[in-house]
Amino acid sequence: MPTIESLLNEADLPDSPSARLDAQWLLAEVLGKPVSYLRTWPEREVEPPQVERYASFLVRRRQGEPVAYILGRQGFWSLDLEVAPHTLIPRPDTELLVETALQTLPAGPQQLLDLGTGTGAIALALACERPAWQVLGVDRVEEAVALALRNRQRLHMSNADFRLSHWFDALGGQRFHMILSNPPYIRADDQHLQQGDVRFEPASALISGADGLDDIRHIVTTAPGHLLAGGWLLLEHGYDQAAAVRGLLLERGFVQVASLCDLAGHERVSLGCWPCVAEADNAG
């Protein structure tokens, strides 16, 4: 029978940028063990049914299917989240949005809104770190809301909730101390849509008009009607969109507008403070 080491060495994933790690995750899933086990027991023999399942996983990965969708889960922040093809896969870049929120608001009671919540990753990470915060995540996709609710239940996060809503449509007059979003921000003609994992992710969670800013424009325009006095709007965006997003925030009347860099040095998150409810109403 083949060993763990031989199965990993013979894994054929020529188009994956992380082929060895992908193979390790897939084999660890088959064995029901952590990846560290593979390194500790490389000589262990693998039973034929497990080899067959591992081979089927490799076929799916060679076809480009993301490892997260094959496994049905993805790590984000300190959480292990269920994922599915009708939601965007949570990525490390989005952790900057979480970090910024934690640094911006006090730890006491706050009301937050996560727009386009998907798996619930942002909302659940914030709820985990700040038990006094109440975080509402909304999404227009029913399956995404159901998935986020399952993640909340499994993680026992009583201070997070999820609701069906296309952006602000189902929120009435609710107002929040902070609104966050990792919205679609890719141009419709972007060549990267035909490459790598994003080929398998929902286009509705990726594409936003000719310049990638249609959804961000809508959020910036509408958010003041749902922010409390001094409330904050935080937006993730493309690596080359920070100046445009800052311009939209300033034009709408936000103050303390700034952009923050991710670990790669790209301006990835922009934010602004809505000065007061009265001004927001007048601007609207």
How many structural domains does the chain have? 2
Asked if 36 and 6 count as a contact pair (C-beta separation under 8 A), the reply is: no
pLDDT exceeds cutoff 80 at 284: no
Asked if 20 and 146 sit in the same domain, the reply is no
φ/ψ of residue 180, rounded to 5: -125, 155
Looking at the structure, tell me whether residues 205 and 246 fall in a common domain.
yes
50 lies in the same domain as 81: no
Same domain, 194 and 253: yes
Segment 112-138 shows an average pLDDT of: 97
182 and 273 share one domain: yes
Contact yes or no for 14/41 (Cβ under 8 A): no
Please give the mean pLDDT across all residues of the chain: 89
129's CB contacts (< 8 A; 6+ apart) are 77, 98, 102
Residues 19 and 151 in one domain: no
Structure tokens at 1: 């029978």
Cα dist from 75 to 70, 71, 209, whole Å: 14, 11, 30
Give the pLDDT of residue 201.
56
CATH number of the domain that residue 59 is part of: 1.10.8
Specify the pLDDT at position 98: 96
pLDDT at 282: 47
Judge if 54 and 131 occupy the same domain. no
Instruction: Provide the CATH number for the domain around residue 151.
Output: 3.40.50.150
Are 30 and 152 found together in one domain? no
Residues 6 or more apart from 172 whose CB is under 8 A from it?
none
Q: Are residues 153 and 256 in the same domain?
A: yes
The β-bridge partners of 227 are 176
Of 40, 63, 86, which residue constitutes the final position of a domain?
63
Per-residue pLDDT band for 184 (boundaries 50, 70, 90) equals: confident
**Average pLDDT, integer, range 257-282:** 82
Q: What is the pTM of this model?
A: 0.86
Residue at 23 is within a domain: yes
Sheet holding 255-261, edge to edge: 160-164, 133-139, 110-115, 176-181, 227-236, 267-273, 255-261
Residues 152 and 119 in one domain: yes
pLDDT at 102: 97
CA 19 to chain CA centroid, nearest Å: 23
Classify residue 70: in a domain, yes or no: no
Q: What is the per-residue pLDDT for 192?
A: 56
The verdict on 122 and 201 lying in the same domain is: yes
User: Which range of residues forms the domain containing residue 13?
Assistant: 4-63
Residue 213 domain-assigned?
Answer: yes
Domain boundary pick from 63, 89, 113: 63
Report if residue 8 sits inside a domain: yes
Per-residue pLDDT at 188? 66
> Please, which pLDDT band fits residue 213 given cuts at 50, 70 and 90?
confident
Please report whether residue 72 resides in a domain.
Answer: no
Is 171 a domain residue? yes
Do 120 and 10 fall into the same domain?
Answer: no
> Largest Cα–Cα distance in the chain?
73
Which is higher by pLDDT, 179 or 19? 179
68 located within any domain: no
- Would you say residue 34 has pLDDT above 50? yes
